Amino acid sequence: MSTPLWTPSANRIANSRLKAFEAWLAEKHQLAFDDYQSLHQWSVDNPESFWESVWQFCNVKAHSPYGKVLEHGGTFPTCGEPSAAWFPGATLNFAENLLRRRDDKIAIVGLLENGQRRELSYAELYTQVEQLAHTLREQGVEAGDRVAGFMPNIPETVVAMLAATSIGAIWSSCSPDFGFQGVMDRFDQIQPKVLFAVDGYFYNGKTINTLDRVKSIADAIGSVESVIVTSVTCARTDLTSIVKAIHFSDALNPAAAPLHFAALPFDHPLYIMYSSGTTGTPKCIVHSAGGTLLQHLKEHQLHTDIGPDDVLFYFTTCGWMMWNWLVSGLASECTLVLFDGSPFAKRGRLLLDAIDREGITVFGTSAKFIAALEKAGHKPSQDYQLASLKTILSTGSPLSHESFDYVYRDFKQDVCLSSISGGTDIISCFVLGNPTLPVYKGQIQCIGLGMAVEIWNDDSQPVTGEKGELVCTRPFPCCPIGFWNDEDGSRFHKAYFAQFTNIWAHGDYGEITPQHGMVIHGRSDAVLNPGGVRIGTAEIYRQVEKVDAVLDSIVIGQSWEDDVRVVLFVVLREGISLDEELVQTIKATIRQNTTPRHVPAKVLQVADIPRTISGKIVELAVRNVVHGEPVKNTDALANPEALEHFRGRPELTH
């Protein structure tokens, strides 16, 4: 067994909420577990008992009780069959569970790249939600209506979401860096009644005005009856050009009636999320209020050890599911720190500064940000106190072994580094952190409680220590209700259940380790297949990150002579050109640490790599360009112009 990079102290384990949950199970149900693995096994073998225990331990607020925990417990929501129904009979309200606290404790700290800082207490947050919900009701918003947010990650966005969901409206959002067509591809499918929007935002030292886009969006979506605009770039934006537009501040009605939380079924739609849209029009994924709430409570309290004394930060935009995950922290009564702007502003120091200044205890970021800090030579342990920091979360792409080393060498030694992985599809995680378990280099700590996750080989058999498809074999509460405008469920079935009957295939290529952790090797549809051998792209990225001259990379499989050859594109440090010596250094680094099949046949330099607006590299889009095939939806990309660096490369013709 490899040596752990970090092991929690006996005190930390004893005081964790996970251990408190185990003690609660012992007291209430006379259950005892030898280790996390036995607890996890119980949770998947006894889903009704487990999820009911989460409901009770996390004190879900309900208007009416459930008759039972689970009906049709063995069936996912596939075409034509009765599917798992969680907590039938129960009614609750998502917003009410996030607004259970109403005192002077700070609920939200809002930070902008330009240095602006604001606070909202739980009492102030409740009042603003009450005032805005009153206005929405006056505008005719009812349960089931869609309310959309073209908004940055600021307090007003949280207020808008909570006001909408207090009524039972369905919230859907994307960030203001989306272009007009990218917004239309999403919001036009769901026909929102109200559009929340912003006049602009700050990014990388620039002020970007969005008001023209807001007008175009509001004019183009016929269902929009009102537009509520937040002024960020100036004191009070002129809204005369936008029909039916009012200022956010004017929508806060001081004479509002007391806030009424609509009592709704557990599976009432809460959010509409979107697939990346890089292979076509984005899929509209509908998530339930009860499933989202219960899963986030479990992940926050049991897996991330979040409670009322915590300050939770995650770098995210409102177009990424981590925003929805972040704001659910209010249900655990912690303080949220929101940030809008570039994570690399001031060479990344803005976010690092916030850890000490705001007393952040849980710092969430991406694997790319951690790797970039190391490449830039940052040593946070030398420049910051980091006394409050107890957990670092990383997602978006696999965290390399070198980044694990960097965190414990140069960031903080006594910290739980939790790489987590799941996605928009489940608005949460399949594999994540654990405050009571050690951290091993390159591994995600554990499979989530209640999630029957396995790795299946090509023969559809579960395996450990081998690479294969990540599947979930049993239903879970945060499974999507379905896709919007997918009346017969066929598109939903094709997305997750076409590969294995009644088994959720997540589309990740992974491996369960001997320590019961998980390694994600990349997306299944991006897996390379030279000579018929499957290679996860993350295995190559891990090695390339070791080469100091390389800032970023993307790898694809190119069809070549009735086989597939591996092609690696690299972005190099300023002033460095790709010569034969550097090519051989890159290839040797890959060969020495993997196998000869991993070594790219071609290594080519590019100026930039295309990414989605949430920051994920788009291997399939690059592969399409290289093969002369169309990229169906470039509006899903933050920098679609980068695709031109891959088009018509003569080096790829021989």
Whether pLDDT at 535 is above 90: no
Model pLDDT for residues 50-61, shown as the tens digit of each residue: 999 999 999 999
Give the pLDDT confidence score for residue 637 in this predicted structure. 85
Provide the pLDDT confidence category of residue 82 given band limits of 50, 70 and 90.
Answer: confident
Does 86 share its domain with 143? no
Mean pLDDT in residue range 284-290: 98
Same domain, 16 and 86: yes
pLDDT for 372-413, tens place per residue? Answer: 899 899 999 999 999 999 999 999 888 989 999 999 999 999
Structure tokens at 311: 């300050």
- Is 339 among the domain residues? no
Residue 21 lies in a domain: yes
| pLDDT at residue 89 is higher than 80 | yes
Average of pLDDT values for 22-26?
98
The pTM assigned to this predicted structure is 0.90
Q: What is the pLDDT of residue 167?
A: 98
Q: Cα separations (Å) of 392 from 52, 335, 386, 434, 613?
A: 29, 16, 11, 12, 23
Question: Do 541 and 509 fall within a single domain?
Answer: no
**Domain CATH code at residue 184:** 3.40.50.980
Q: What is the pLDDT of residue 279?
A: 63
Q: What average pLDDT score do residues 265-294 get?
A: 91
Q: Does residue 568 share a domain with residue 497?
A: no
Report, as an integer, the average pLDDT of 359-365. 98
**CA pair distance 89, 216, nearest whole angstrom:** 43
Q: What is the DSSP letter of 413?
A: S
CA angle 398, 340, 354 (to 5 degrees): 80
| 268 three-class SS | coil
Q: How confident is the model at residue 42 (pLDDT cuts 50, 70, 90)?
A: very high
Joined together, the tokens standing for residue 234 give: 């100036």
Question: Average of pLDDT values for 311-325?
Answer: 96
Q: Has residue 206 been placed in a domain?
A: yes
CA atoms within 13 A on the CB side of 117: 8
598 located within any domain: yes
CATH of the domain at 581: 3.30.300.30
* 561 shares its domain with 505: no
**pLDDT tens-place string over residues 203-230:** 999 999 999 999 999 999 999 999 999 9
User: Regarding beta strands 391-395 and 362-366, do their DSSP bridges make them parallel or antiparallel, or are they unpaired?
Assistant: parallel
Q: What angle do CA 114, 120, 122 make, to 5 degrees?
A: 155
Percentage of the chain beyond pLDDT 70 is 99
Length of the chain: 654
Do 500 and 546 lie in one domain? The reply is no
Pick from 262, 263, 264, 266: nearest CA to 51: 266
pLDDT (0 to 100) of residue 278: 62
**pLDDT-based confidence at residue 80 (cuts at 50, 70, 90):** low
- Tell the residue number behind the tokens 């808008």, with chain if given: 160
| pLDDT category of residue 532 using cuts at 50, 70 and 90 | confident
Contact predicate 180/174, CB 8 Å: no
Residue 413 resides in a domain: no
Report the first-to-last Cα separation within the chain, whole angstroms: 45
Taking residue 220's Cβ as centre, other Cβ atoms within 10 Å add up to: 13
513 and 564 within one domain: no
- Rounded Cα distance, 50 and 41, in Å: 10
CA distance 516 to 438: 11
Are residues 132 and 251 part of one domain?
A: yes
What is the reported pLDDT for 215?
A: 97
Are 77 and 157 in a shared domain?
Answer: no
CA distances from 70 to 62, 90, 107 (A): 17, 11, 34
Neighbour tally for 256: CB within 10 Å: 18
Report the run of H or E that residue 405 belongs to, with start and end. helix 401-406
Q: What is the pLDDT of residues 421-454, one digit of tens each?
A: 999 999 999 999 999 999 999 999 999 999 999 9
The whole-angstrom separation of Cα 427 and Cα 296 is 9
The edge-to-edge listing of strands for the beta sheet with 245-247 is 245-247, 226-230, 194-198, 146-150, 170-174, 269-274, 284-288, 482-483
49-62 core/surface letters (b: 16 or more CB in 10 A; e: else): ebbbbbbebbebeb
Whether 79 shows a pLDDT value over 70: the answer reads no
Residues 589 and 496 in one domain: no
581 vs 576: CA distance, rounded Å? 12
In the prediction, which pLDDT does 281 show? 82
- Residue 606, pLDDT above cutoff 90: yes
- Classify residue 204: in a domain, yes or no: yes
Q: Are 435 and 16 in contact (CB under 8 A)?
A: yes
Last residue of a domain, one of 470, 485, 518: 518
* Span 553-605, pLDDT tens digits: 999 999 888 888 999 999 999 999 999 999 999 999 999 888 888 899 999 99
Question: Which 8-state DSSP code applies to residue 355?
Answer: H
φ, ψ (nearest 5 deg) of residue 44: -90, -25
Q: Is the pLDDT of residue 632 over 80?
A: no
pLDDT of residue 614: 75
Alpha-carbon gap, residue 129 to 126, rounded angstroms: 5
- Structural domains in the chain (count): 3
CA dist 260 and 130 (Å) reads 8
Task: For residue 277, name the pLDDT band (cuts at 50, 70, 90).
Answer: low
**Same domain (yes/no): 512, 467:** yes
Q: Is residue 57 part of a domain?
A: yes
* Average of per-residue pLDDT across 630-647: 87
- Average pLDDT along the chain: 94
Q: What angle do CA 541, 545, 549 make, to 5 degrees?
A: 130
Residues 441 and 4: their CA atoms lie apart, in Å, by 7
Q: Which domain holds residue 59?
A: 1-93+285-303+447-518
Residues 10 and 35 in one domain: yes
On whether residue 349 sits in a domain, the answer given is no
